[in-house]
Amino acid sequence: MKKIFLLIILAGLSLPGFTQRTKSVGLRAGVNVSDITRTVFTARTAFYAGLAGEMRMTGLYALQLELGYSQQGALGNVEDERSVNRHFSDSGIRTEYFTAGVMNKFSIHRKFSLLAGASVEQELSGNPFLSRTLDAGVILGAEYQFLPGFGLEVRAKRGLFDIFENSAYTTGEYTGNLLMGSQSNLVLQAGLVYYFKERK
């Protein structure tokens, strides 16, 4: 009995050294179609690019850390008078975000994975029409590996915060609640992923 107990402890201690956690580095890039919810603006088409670090825990599950650049926003005429008699006008809310995210990847098939995760996003361009520069998002998506290393991905990302507060450009009743009824980033992403093979 004692021996079995000790064996279990031994096995437990040595486990971290034997689990084959395979890591890989990926590059992602593609097209963004973005909008700001509950406004009269129309969608903006732009691009995103980023770096991904995949840590595969089991055949079914991998954790993926991501850093990226994402052009978002919406199109439409905006005008505003700001604090000290300054006038701004633009043909859209053209924002640039730096994103840092964590994705859970469920590989339900050898070539096909479902993605669910979250990201923290920092606006970089200093756009005067935004009410805040820091955003957080929830992401759902899918990835299809059509060649070894190459993948196609589709994602939907929803910002959690009200980033545009001017009620002149909204439709519907404004509630200002988190998630429900706020004017938030909404982005559809479609693109390519490439995972580098580590040479031993």
Q: How far is the CB of 37 from other proteins (least distance, A)?
A: 18
What's the rounded Cα separation, in Å, for the pair 134 and 84? 24
Q: Which of 47, 116, 128, 150 binds other proteins (CB under 8 A)?
A: 128
SS3 category, 67: strand
Q: Which of 29, 33, 43, 55 binds other proteins (CB under 8 A)?
A: 55
**Structural contact between residues 22 and 58, judged by C-beta atoms closer than 8 angstroms:** no
Q: Taking Cα atoms as reference points, which of 139, 167, 147, 148 lies closest to residue 32? A: 139
By CB under 8 A, tell whether 60 contacts other proteins.
no
Site string for other proteins, 161-200 (x = CB under 8 A): x----------------------------------x-x--
Q: How far is the CB of 40 from other proteins (least distance, A)?
A: 21
Q: Taking Cα atoms as reference points, which of 154, 161, 144, 165 lies closest to residue 187? A: 154
Fill in the DSSP letter of residue 110: S
Which residues of the chain form contacts with other proteins (CB under 8 A)? 6, 9-10, 13-14, 16-17, 21, 23-25, 51, 53-55, 65, 67, 82-86, 98, 100, 122-124, 126, 128, 131-134, 161, 196, 198
